[in-house]
Structure 1
Amino acid sequence: MMATEAELRRDLAASYRLAAMLGWEDTIYTHFSVRLPGEGEPRFLINPFGYMFDEIRASDLIVVDVNGKVVDGDAKYNPAGFTIHSAVHMAREDAHCVIHTHTLPGMAVAACDKGLLTLNQISAEFYNRVGYHPYEGVAFNLEERERIQQSLGDNIALILQSHGLLSVGETIADAFQVMYYLNKACEIQLAAAQMAALTQVSEIPESLAQYVCGQFKATESERQMVWQAWLRKLDRIDPSYKD
């Protein structure tokens, strides 16, 4: 059953609040979006520019079309955020939700020549499932959208080199879970790099990484269960995201 706009607003606002709680926010920068149901060109919910993640409510979210028009809401959006999110929504009908972050571990791995390494069970989930997009400067140029689409391909995540992380999912629960563990994999890599001067750091062999990645794919339905647990936690802390 397809989620209603009210449900999508609630869940997207929840994802912002949870991101703030987890330390993912970058003041008023970075952005999460979700595509709204309906025929025709995609329209999506995104955060109004100027809001901290911990203050976003369901009613604050604005609706933008892929031509850059705000069709519902009295606020502006981040232009670079529009470029990135509209690119994905235009190309991937299955990527209903798009999450983009500038976390310290994510930006550290985005600065590495070899990108994300398969160092741990968590990073094995992303074996051959992450794209890489070369840095072109702040994403104000709409012509970059086509190149972002090509870099993402059919992957569940994208590392924007010299920039940050991006995850996609059929639902907000999916994209949030992908980002949570992608960021965790980057944290592991950052910690391992700090120990590399003292001990050898080893990658999981490719054949085993592929096997473990398949195991993770078989449990993806559990993301909805995890998301409900996140919502219960947020409700205990501050349910005002629903307003």
Structure 2
Amino acid sequence: MATAAVAPRTMNDAEWEARQQLAAAYRVFDHLGWSEMIYNHITLKVPGEDHAFLINPFGLHFSEVKASNLVKIDIDGNKLGDSPYPVNRAGFVQHAVFHRNLPDVHCIMHTHTTAGMAVSSLEGGLQPINFYACNFAGQIAYHDFEGVTVRDEEGERLVANLGDKRMLLLRNHGIVAMGRTLPEAFIKHWSLQRACEIQLATLSMGKPLTVSPEVVAVHQRDLHMAQVPGGPGAADFAAMVRLVDRVDTSWRE
């Protein structure tokens, strides 16, 4: 992804590049219809600072997020810098516990999409009944709804229920996608969202065809052969950034 502006004197180039990438993600999510008023979150670790991450300013729509107005906070929720914007506690508590406990997770995406919330509210959750759902069979964790995530003590259960998985459906709540990079988290979220949308459509028509575990295993084994070089999601995310750039480039500021 091209960098359109030099880093401000108050930060290094690596942080500025991360800010631009994260701001682009918010605009991509908005373009895809995944905004939820001023709520929901995408967080990204600050390169070279394991205990600091970037989050959206509470009160701004995804379409208003820019590299410069993202809020930098530490793992305890303290703002690092002089941002005038608050941070939504519901976003901080959930994301911070994962950033604190999962060193391989550098980006976390949480949404309340209609399809994601619908499938997370369905007994049995995601079912292996379409191409994208087969990507995730056996790879999704579930966490029961306990109310809005503002209590620190829920964090222990979130981490325990996640286990060694890096995709989570919060029951009655929505999608959480995690990645070693932002593009990886993006393609995982996009694929799970598509799986949920297709499941929603399929179940509305009648009894679905279920893919056998044997075929699911072959599908997951061979998926890497259908990926573009450059790392998981890199080409996909870059294509979406080019798309939003045709509409508005203010996220780069």
TMscore range, shorter length? over 0.9
1:216 aligns with 2:223: yes
The residue aligned with 1:155 is: 165
Aligned mates of 2:155, 2:112 — CA distance in 1: 19
The residue aligned with 1:242 is: 252
Could you list the runs of 5+ residues in structure 1 that have no partner in the other structure?
none
Q: 1:204 aligns with which of 205, 211, 221?
A: 211
Aligned mates of 1:8, 1:215 — CA distance in 2: 31
1:55 aligns with 2:64: yes
The residue aligned with 2:52 is: 43
The residue aligned with 1:172 is: 182
1:143 aligns with 2:150: no
Q: Is the 8 A contact 2:38 2:61 kept in 1?
A: yes
The amino acid of 2:15's aligned partner reads E
**Alignment partner of 2:68: what SS?**
helix
Aligned mates of 1:160, 1:6 — CA distance in 2: 31
The residue aligned with 2:77 is: 68
TM-score (norm 2): 0.90
1:25 aligns with 2:25: no
1:225 aligns with 2:232: no
1:98-126 Cα distance to aligned partner (Å, 9 max, x none): 00000000000010110100111111111
1:9-60 Cα distance to aligned partner (Å, 9 max, x none): 1111111111111111110011100011225x52100001000001111101
Aligned mates of 1:130, 1:37 — CA distance in 2: 27
Aligned mates of 1:239, 1:97 — CA distance in 2: 22
- Name the stretch that deviates more: 26-35 or 120-129: 120-129
Q: Give the share of equivalent positions with the same residue, in percent.
A: 37
1:73-131 Cα distance to aligned partner (Å, 9 max, x none): 22211101001100110111111000000000000001011010011111111111111
Could you list the runs of 5+ residues in structure 2 that have no partner in the other structure?
1-12
- Number of aligned positions between the proteins: 237
Q: How much has 1:222 moved relative to structure 2?
A: 4.8
Q: Is the 8 A contact 1:156 1:178 kept in 2?
A: no
**Alignment partner of 1:59: what SS?**
coil
